[in-house]
Amino acid sequence: MRIGILALQGAFDAHARACEKLGHRTTEIRKVSDLEGIEGLILPGGESSTQLRLLDEAGLAAPLATRIESGIPVLATCAGAILLAREVRSPTQWSFGLLDCTITRNAYGRQLDSLETVSDDGRVPLVFIRAPRIDSVGSRVEVLATYQGSPVLVRQGAITAATFHPELSADLSPLGGVWTSEHPDRNLMGRRGGKEGDEL
């Protein structure tokens, strides 16, 4: 599968390495013509305010939105999830509004508060870096994992969004199923085993 990674600023390199380990080809997206021929899309972490300015300058916002609305599988992590959210707080900023949730930037504090932990159900390894918090989700959004009660991994249609960094974990298995169209959430949460659907 050929996955386009938005490479304006941020963790595009870490995502490329993770994709390669999972056997996918990747292409860096910096201009509109780079979107041709991609079968999946990653919006990586980084500084969302920087990414927004660069999106605007490159004239990429509208073509990207069209592509996402067309139903291409999307993985958005951290700043990427902020870009997709319906509403962004702290500070308020423009977003695509394609993921029905409200999200607060740097909600857990500064870099000193960055941490490695696991989801509330113990099944998903979480690397948080100056992470945002999803405060609320709309009815179309399925919550796949939580931390301290807040959603950290969600899915809406073909969009999978994480407030943490699966690409930085030693165990990349939570990423394995993101690109699979059949039963994507079951693949994504492969290790939920018999308890699938229990407490989430």
Partner 1 sequence: MTTSAPTTKIGFAEMLKGGVIMDVVNTEHARIAEQAGACAVMALERVPAQIRKEGGVARASDPAMIRAIQSAVSIPVMAKCRIGHFIEAQILEALAVDFVDESEVLTPADPDLHIDKHAFRVPFVCGCRNLGEALRRIAEGASLIRTKGEAGTGDIVEAVRHLRAIRTEMRRLTMMGPEELVNEAKRLGAPLDLVARVAKEGKLPVPQFAAGGIATPADASLCMALGAESVFVGSGIFLSEDAPKRARAVVLATTHWRDPARLAEISTGLGEAMRGTQVSSLPDDARLASRGV
Among 4, 40, 46, 151, binds partner 1 (CB under 8 A): 46
Among 3, 5, 8, 101, binds partner 1 (CB under 8 A): 8
Query: Quick check: 91 binds partner 1 (CB under 8 A)?
Result: yes
Strands (E), the chain: 2-6, 25-29, 40-43, 74-77, 85-89, 99-104, 115-118, 125-128, 133-137, 142-147, 150-156, 159-162
**Residues facing 68 on adjacent strands:** none
Query: Quick check: 76 binds partner 1 (CB under 8 A)?
Result: no
**Residues facing 103 on adjacent strands:** 88, 134
Looking up tokens 């000193």, which residue turns up?
112
Least distance (Å) between residue 5 CB and partner 1: 11
In the complex with partner 1, which residue's Cβ is closer, 127 or 144?
127
Among 42, 75, 78, 145, binds partner 1 (CB under 8 A): 78
In the complex with partner 1, which residue's Cβ is closer, 41 or 158?
41
User: Interface residues for partner 1 in 96-155 (CB under 8 A)?
Assistant: 105-106, 109-117, 127-130
**Residues facing 29 on adjacent strands:** 6
Query: Quick check: 162 binds partner 1 (CB under 8 A)?
Result: no
Active site residue 167: yes
CB within 8 Å of 13: residues ≥ 6 apart: none
Looking up tokens 């945002």, which residue turns up?
132
Least distance (Å) between residue 85 CB and partner 1: 15
Distance from C-alpha of 117 to C-alpha of 110, rounded to nearest angstrom: 16
Token reading at 144: 């796949």
Q: Contact positions toward partner 1, by CB under 8 A?
A: 7-14, 30-31, 45-47, 49-50, 53-54, 57-58, 78-79, 90-91, 105-106, 109-117, 127-130, 165, 168-169
